[in-house]
Structure 1
Amino acid sequence: MRFILRAISLVALVVAVMAGTIDAIQSVSASEPVLTPLAVAWSTASPDTIALVADGIMHNLHPYAWDPAAMWVLSQPAFAVLLAVSLFFWMLAYRRPSVAGRFAA
Structure 2
Amino acid sequence: MGLKFLGLLLLIVALALGLWFGTDTPLGAAIFQLWPEFLNTFQAGVQRRVLPELWDWVILPVLLWPVWAVPAGLGGLFLLLGLARRR
TM-score, scaled relative to structure 2: 0.69
Change (3 A) 1:78 1:57: same
Which structure 1 residue ranges, 5 or more long, are not aligned? 24-33, 98-105
- Which residue number in structure 1 is paired with residue 19 of structure 2? 21
TM-score, scaled relative to structure 1: 0.60
Aligned-CA RMSD value: 2.6
Which structure 2 residue ranges, 5 or more long, are not aligned? none
The structure whose RCO (Cα within 8 Å, separation 6+) is larger is 2
Change (3 A) 1:17 1:6: same
- Which residue number in structure 1 is paired with residue 86 of structure 2? 96
Classify the secondary structure of the residue corresponding to 1:78: coil
Aligned-partner Cα distance in 2 for 1:59–1:16: 31
Classify the secondary structure of the residue corresponding to 2:68: helix
Q: Which amino acid aligns with 2:86?
A: R
- Which residue number in structure 1 is paired with residue 68 of structure 2? 79
Classify the secondary structure of the residue corresponding to 1:36: coil
Aligned-partner Cα distance in 1 for 2:77–2:61: 18
Change (3 A) 1:11 1:61: farther
Larger Rg: 1
